[in-house]
Structure formats: structure tokens, C-alpha cells
Structure 1
Amino acid sequence: MSTMVIAGASGFIGSYFRRELTDAGWTVLTIGRSGDATWGDAAAMTAVLEGADLLVNLAGKSVSCRYTPANRAEIFRSRVETTAELGRAIAACQVPPRDWFNASTGTIYRDARDRAQTERDGELGTGFSVEVARRWEAALAAAVTPETRKIPLRITIVMGPGGGVMRPFVTLVRLGLGGRMGAGTQKYSWIHVTDLLRAVLFIHEQPGIAGPVNIASPKPVTNAELMAEVRRAVRMPFGVPTPAWLLGMGAVLICTETELVLKSRWVLPQKLTDAEFTWRFPSLRGALADIVAGVPVVAPVRTPRAQS
């Protein structure tokens, strides 16, 4: 029986992983503010990690918030310090995990509108979100765990029934506000949560894969195409476009940042493609058909909870 340890398991992705893996017969242990071990308890963390097959670290405060000084500090701390803490716990193991996959983000790449960004030739960007990703990956690289393979997962926007980004999108569309956002030409790279888990398990079984891995559908779309597909999925015939200036005002009201929808994220999963990974949901239309079926008719817009 295989054992996976999930750090930061209380959020949308972690909860999905726990449910699906348990059903599949895995032993799933957790590290977080609660669970089988808690942050700050080095001995308990080491005990949980001892002999595990795979550690997946998803911990980190949600970036869907206003970037105030306090929130910026917590976004850094909740990623960098927890990653360093896990590294120390693994170093203390007699039988360390074979693999450690640490969440990172596809936002590490520049605002790309001319070409796709792959692991081989992608160009890192600048700004707060990129600096978060750089420090996150640097903390993983600094951990001394010679017997454990370490891979940063550059995860794009995660979509799935009952969570992720879809509730606010569906709500906007049903209110008639589902037109393009800003210019609408910015790229939207995404991954269905089912394929995120499948990719994690696939990489675990592929010892030749090393270094950062882009976790994305092979078929990104533009923002205008995204909103058109959401309108189609919920059978809304029209959607009022939202100019960038109005998005800025709305972001203040719902306590988030316009970067989340206006930055062009054009990320391709070259390593997964080269390794012949197959996606269950490669196209947005198929993914939305699955997702919208699990989204309530009335879905409140709320800021996602921070993961533990």
C-alpha cells in the first residue's frame, strides 16, 4: 500500500486529493494547522514523513487577496517557511520519501503574448507574484534531501467542480457580466483538478523526469474564449465585456488583484507531453461540461480560504 503525505490539505486541491486517493486505496497523511502533524512540531512531521512514498506540498495563503504589506508577508511566509520546514523534517528521516513535489505556479513566467512558455525555453517574469514563485522554488532547492527527488510543480489555474476559480466565473456569467475581461487577448492556461492529480501520480511513476514541471492543459485559450465557453456551458447567450478600469474597481470591492485575470499566462506542459502523459480533459469545453455540472445554480463570490 502506497503512502502520500499532503501538506496544506485543507484547501480545494488538497481535499480533492485526499478523497480520491483514499478511495483508490492509498494511505493519506496530512501536515497543516491540524491533521496527523502540525506546523512547528518537527518530531511529528518527521514521523509522518518516515517511509512515505510521496510528499505533495500545497501549503500557501491564497493569492486571491489585496496585496497589502501584511498579505504579501503572509503569502511569502506560508510558502517559503513551510517548504523549509518540510526539508528539515525529511532530512531527519531514516527512510525519507522517494519523491517530494512542491507546489509552485505557472505565474513564474513573464506576461507572454508572443509565444508559449515551456520548461525548456520559458522566460521568468518580474513583479510580486514572480518573486513569490522564485523564493518558493529556491526554498525547495535549498533543502538538503539527497535521497528524495524534488520537483517544483508549476501549476496553472486549477479548475474543478465545487471549487477553484469557477464559482465566481459562473456567477458573473449568470449575472450577464461574462464578456471578455480587459482586451480579452490575454492567454489563460489552466488544468482540471482531475488531471492535476493524474499528472502528480504520473510523474511519481516516471523517475526520469527532473526539474520544474509545468502542470497545464495542452490547449490554453484566450480570456475572450474562456468567457465564451463559460457562457456556452451555462447557456447564457450574452455577456457584457468588462474594461480593465472597471476590473480595477471591482477587484478592490472583492479584495483581490486584477493580475489574476489580466496577466497573460501562456504555459505549455512540454515535459508531460514528451513523456506521453494523456489528459482526461485536454480541452476547455470538455472540462467545463464536467465542472459546471457540479457548480450550484446560485454560487456566491467569495475569496478562497487560505490553505493550511
Structure 2
Amino acid sequence: MLGEGGFGKVFKGWVDPKTYAASKVGVGIPVAVKKSSPDSEQGLKEWQAEVKFLGKFSHPNLVKLFGYCWEDKQFLLVYEYMQKGSLESHLFRKKGGEPLSWDTRIKIAIGAAKGLVFLHNTEKSVIYRDFKASNVLLDGDFNAKLSDFGLAKFGPVDSNSHVTTDIVGMYGYAAPEYMSTGHLYVKSDVYGFGVVLLEIITGMRVLDSSRQPHQYNLVKWTKPLLPNKNKLRNLMDPRLEHGYPFQAASQVAELIIRCLNPQCKLRPDMEQVLGKVEKISKMEMTPKDLKAQTKHLKDEERRLRKRSSTLPTNHGGIGHTGGGHSQHEYQSY
């Protein structure tokens, strides 16, 4: 089993590459099979939405739907298998695994933005409504693809600026106008993108009860701090080890602030967001950035040497050492 959610469980399987018929384990191409909970009314609605949207649209930055099945109250969806899992699993893993580099994080942001641009510019614009780190899946080369279209809605038609719908989705990622009124705009997705971009650069979850009470909501806590360069440095994911162009990080912070504008109409559209992130991706580290990175690595090396020199010597017994993280480190793992 690959995972489990509100819809049901997700399993790994294999199919024949030509016929898509089921094959033996390890033979053919791997797929992810989502199986709904048979008694879930919401599961049926989301299954229908997935078939409607992924069955109709195809794009390099949307997860490919190979097929679906509805039989004996069992609702199945068969997708391409994404080798690297979700963005969420890489940003917030407790320990182990290589942290995502700056370039990889920006690459993922670009891919996800391309997926949203495509959806927003279809003949009848599609509002994704559930943009969050767990729904951004990664292939073997860390190309990002949007998954889980169970909450997607067709956008407004004629002279309407929004659609009205039940309030569902993930608190923290959902735009304020949607949470307060149920009005859903194309730019409501832009707010969610801004939240995920904030998670990408800080390595922290949007909501985390293990942080101090005033830091529980990442957006409310950090948004006033992002324009301050010194405070921005302290908010950056420590696992990046200063390995990024700080000017690029500053521009990402500026973009996040624009995406998180409480007034929907003042947010940029996703085409503008994509263009900005693509420009940021071309920025390289300056000599000043490299100097800061070298200093950080030397300081870290000295800290580790000092720590190892203070550890008790094990004379045949069982040695035990305790370790801890700074507040930011604790929040980021």
C-alpha cells in the first residue's frame, strides 16, 4: 500500500504497457491504484470528479489517468506511478533522505505552476481548489504533476466572476474569500500556490501545533517578516545550508506576499506567477552568497567537532547521548 486518505487506499500495481491489462508484480509499467471506501458518499463524488477532469484533460504537469472502474460499489482509479512520491514527503520528512536542493525546489514550483496555468486556461477554466504539498507528486526526475482532482470545479461562465460551492478542502491552504463566503475564484488557486511556495522555502508546514502558539499558522506568523531580509534568512529552511542565491529567495518572498494578498483581485494570475518563478530560476549565487555558504559550513563543522569532543567516552558500557534541535530546526524536520 502506498498511502491512505479520505477517498480510500492507494496501492501499487503493474499493467501491460500496450493493453493496460493487469500483469504480474514487477512486470510491465508500475501504476498507482486508488480504491475508494465503499460506504463513502464523498468518495463517490470525488471519484466522479477525477474521471471528469483527468479523463478530459492531458498535460505533462497533470498526473496521467490510465483507467477507471466502477463495479460492486468499488470505485477504482488507475494512475501513472510517481516514483518520488509527494512534495510533502520531501519537505517534512522527520529524518533520513536527501533534502531538496534550491534548484530542485524551484523546478518543482515551476512544474506545479505550469499545471495550474493549463487548468486556468482551458476552454472552461478549471479551479483546482485543493492545491497543497501532498497533491504535488514527483516523478523520477522531480518533475511536478498535480494529482487528486476530487474537489476541482469548472470556473465561472458568462459575466460571473466566481462560482459558489460548499466549503471543503484543507484549512491553511484555502483562500480567505472562499473560507468566509464559499465564493471560489480562479485566483483562489493562486493563494494556495503562495502557501505551498512558503512551505517550499521554509521547510515548515502551514499548520503545526508543535510550534509556539503564535507560530501555529505559518502564513500569519511569517507574512509580516518576509520583507525583512535578516528575518527572511532566519526563516529559510536550514537544510538548504545557505546553498541558494539570496536575491532569488528575496524575490520568492515578494511573490509569496503578492499571492497571499487577502484581496483576490489584487493577486497575480498564474501566468504571471509562472513567468516570475522562471526568471528566478535563472538567478545564480553571487560571491557574497558563496561566502555566506562557506562560513555556514565551517561554523557547522566546528559545532559538530565541539559536540563530539564533549561526548562521554564509552568504556565497555552502553553510551547514550541526547541531542536536540534549535526551534527552527525542530520545526523543519
Q: Same fold (TM over 0.5)?
A: no
TM-score (norm 1): 0.29
Q: Which one has more relative contact order, counting CA pairs under 8 Å at least 6 apart?
A: 1
TM-score normalised by structure 2 residue count:
0.27
User: Whose Rg is larger?
Assistant: 2
